[in-house]
A and B are shown apart, each in its own frame.
Chain A
Amino acid sequence: MCRQNAKKGHGGRGWWGQEGSRRVTCLCSDLAALAGWPLAGVKPPRLLFSFLSCPRVRAPGCRMNCRSEVLEVSVEGRQVEEAMLAVLHTVLLHRSTGKFHYKKEGTYSIGTVGTQDVDCDFIDFTYVRVSSEELDRALRKVVGEFKDALRNSGGDGLGQMSLEFYQKKKSRWPFSDECIPWEVWTVKVHVVALATEQERQICREKVGEKLCEKVINIVEVMNRHEYLPKMPTQSEVDNVFDTGLRDVQPYLYKISFQITDALGTSVTTTMRRLIKDTLAL
């Protein structure tokens, strides 16, 4: 399935988990049996047929490999939040548009996105984010959880956050919607502890410079103009965009994080979903 390829970028478990995909396969066969398709010789409806014959589901325009970018930063403990927010906001700045207002004849107009500068307190750095308090709050919440998890893990101070943009593909009953990621940004964080004030001062500047480089990297990727979901019709807009915010409309995204040990395997897998999406069968 497409999703299996998306797992590549995570370095950890894909968000389905291993159980997830197995469950779906079992489900297919069970359903076929349940259906007890009585009409021999007649092709089953396409829905069942496609599941029975080929479990790969391709949404139109979906790429088999979703784009995956990895960024790494080394920061001091108190810089974690700001560094993560800087990266996430920079990515979301590029992946948000104004609110769509659909008019008749299938046309739509787009609202305006405002921006604002944010100065970091612990890093010599300023980043630009969209002017949306809701979005900022949501990001701060999850980054705060990540920071706490890092702190409480007591490990080497290694962790990563993933920002995944996905599209929803509506499936017919009884299957719930699929989430097909098309871009995943992974930020790996290494927390260092510094002893003296002078080191901290140097760290402020160094991390500021590093974040400047990261922003340039992000912009480079954005500039490649690679796959973006097609602009949806009014009925499909919720499959592509997060229309729940009041003032801006980012692409559907979810953020998760993991605390890892030095080998990169997951010590505790903690999933936080901002958009609920489950395979609850």
Chain B
Amino acid sequence: METDLNSQDRKDLDKFIKFFALKTVQVIVQARLGEKICTRSSSSPTGSDWFNLAIKDIPEVTHEAKKALAGQLPAVGRSMCVEISLKTSEGDSMELEIWCLEMNEKCDKEIKVSYTVYNRLSLLLKSLLAITRVTPAYRLSRKQGHEYVILYRIYFGEVQLNGLGEGFQTVRVGTVGTPVGTITLSCAYRINLAFMSTRQFERTPPIMGIIIDHFVDRPYPSSSPMHPCNYRTAGEDTGVTYPSVEDSQEVCTTSFSTSPPSQCVFTVTKAHFQTPTPVVTDTLRVPMAGLAFSHQPAALGVGSADLAYPVAFAAGLNATHPHQLMVPGKEGGVPLAPNQPAHGAQADQERLATYTLSDGAHCAATPSSSEDTETVSNSSEGRASPHDVLETIFVRKVGAFVNKPINQVTLTSLDIPFAMFAPKNLELEGADPMVNPPDSPETESPLQGSLHSDGSSGGSSGNTHDDFVMIDFKPAFSKDDILPMDLGTFYREFQNPPQLSSLSIDIGAQSMAEDLDSLPEKLAVHEKNVREFDAFVETLQ
């Protein structure tokens, strides 16, 4: 087609489109890093800020984008796509969004390249900045960390929307007409965030090392590797992200695991703190025989930008019980409660149950042990307070983009064997925690009772709160970016401290009567030593 474009304009246009594509990728990936982005305005032009916008260039991302483009530009039928997906610490993954930069044939010959097109591209980038914070994946990415990570992949060619599940929605960011075609930027995002883990729940050997071929099954022509969206340059600290909960609702099928499929509802939870807090992925529906979850935080290359892949997904665990730690945060959710082994747990359940995630000190490689408890204790370094309270709360919380009312789920309504022994819901505010197990001989606090792994846990099934209101403690005013822990986290962490030993009544403690009986003898002894006491008192005066 004959274009009236002179060569200079053509060259400019190509350059604009190329850098626009690169900046688009930067904006999208940076928006999914999980951090707040902040760049400074500068009144004097630096000459290096394309489209007059301060968008930092992450080198790895530019490199990937250039690799995908391979010297070409988006053209008709050749779109540049950025795929954003979520990958849990257990290895399950799910596509969340696909951002497409397309070109169609509708040309606008009259438009001035160096001026109007440039300014409109700049406006489109601003729109992209705004839209990237508005799709559901943004909130997910802000909460990524130990339980799941957000990955990106750039490819060039036909747009593949299959992985987004049913009923995905699209939003158009904008279009810019140019003399060679119309550039369109749009995003298709997944609505249905529930997915079924296709992993069978049995003890699986730990996954060691780096997962490279995870996406080999994908039907994509270009199987470019996925990259985590959380590059951190040296010295940069991530801002505090709020501990929060993200729940999936019901079972739906996906099929991207090599393990045989099995029925399991998988819930993605997340806590991303600077201070350690117990967090665990939960399953709501769990066959008792041989569960394996991974509780190892998905360790990512924090500070080591050379790790291009998500690293070190956890060892399977022998957590043979449903449990859940949901950490409420800004987005609401349930208060934190460490979990409680449901039944017959091993002696090391305590350690398992009281694990916490190490904070920012992600280990960059899988722990060498293949034992879950060891991995757990590895990761529990640096935890602030042992959580001796082991209670579990099950709550289904609706994410911002799912059209379901919040409803609480109690264990009794779930399809779990030994549900009777599973811990029950409790009310956060005010109400006493677990009532003493009725058949437990000790009179100590429920906290202690639950410390001793299993015995009392069965008895704690006495309370079934079918309907309770989970009130989230969300101190909006007390969020502090400087301190790693906000008031809400602090409150939750320390709201159930272990009881003072002096206040507890030991089994072997003397009864009151015995105490009284021994008093006269003690008095007699003291009277004998009266002189010594007097001398002592005199020294004090």
Contact = CB atoms under 8 A, between A and B. Distances in A.
Contact of A131 (B40, B46, B176): B40
Interface string A208-220: 1100100110111
A209 B331 CA distance: 12
B131 interface: yes
B37 A117 contact: yes
Contacts, number: 144
B41 A247 contact: yes
B121 to A, nearest CB: 11
Given A94-B123, A216-B134, A219-B174, A114 B129 contact: no
B45 A204 contact: no
B127 A223 contact: yes
B442 interface: no
A174 B414 CA distance: 81
Interface string B300-332: 000000000000000000000000000000111
A220 B172 contact: yes
A111 B42 contact: yes
A94 B52 CA distance: 12
Interface residues of B, number: 51
Interface string A194-238: 000110011011001100100110111011010000010000000
Contact of A124 (B123, B173, B331): B331
A90 interface: yes
A65 interface: no
Contact of B130 (A128, A132, A202, A247): A128
A131 B138 CA distance: 20
A223 B130 CA distance: 12
Contacts of A201: 332, 406, 472, 474
B44 interface: yes
Nearest to B405: A202
Contacts of B345: none
A contacts with B: majority SS: mixed
B63 to A, nearest CB: 23
A109 interface: yes
A114 B134 contact: no
Contact of B45 (A110, A117, A218): A110
A18 to B, nearest CB: 37
A128 B332 contact: no
Contacts of A114: 38-42, 53-54
A119 B36 contact: yes
A101 interface: yes
A121 B131 CA distance: 20
Interface of B: 36-46, 49, 52-54, 115, 120, 122-124, 126-127, 129-131, 133-135, 138-139, 142, 171-176, 330-332, 398, 400-401, 406, 469, 471-472, 474, 476-477, 479
16 contacts: A94-B126, A101-B45, A109-B45, A110-B45, A126-B36, A126-B142, A131-B54, A132-B41, A198-B471, A201-B332, A201-B474, A209-B401, A212-B135, A215-B134, A218-B130, A220-B172
A201 B44 CA distance: 44
A104 to B, nearest CB: 16
B173 A223 contact: yes
A14 interface: no
Interface string A108-138: 0111111111010110101110111000000
Contacts of B474: 201
A77 interface: no
A25 B406 CA distance: 61
A98 interface: yes
Nearest to B473: A197
Nearest to A118: B36
B129 A246 contact: no
Given A114-B38, A212-B400, A219-B173, 14 more contacts: A93-B129, A93-B130, A111-B43, A112-B45, A115-B126, A115-B129, A122-B476, A124-B139, A128-B133, A198-B471, A205-B331, A223-B127, A223-B172, A225-B176
B133 A247 contact: no
A115 B129 CA distance: 9
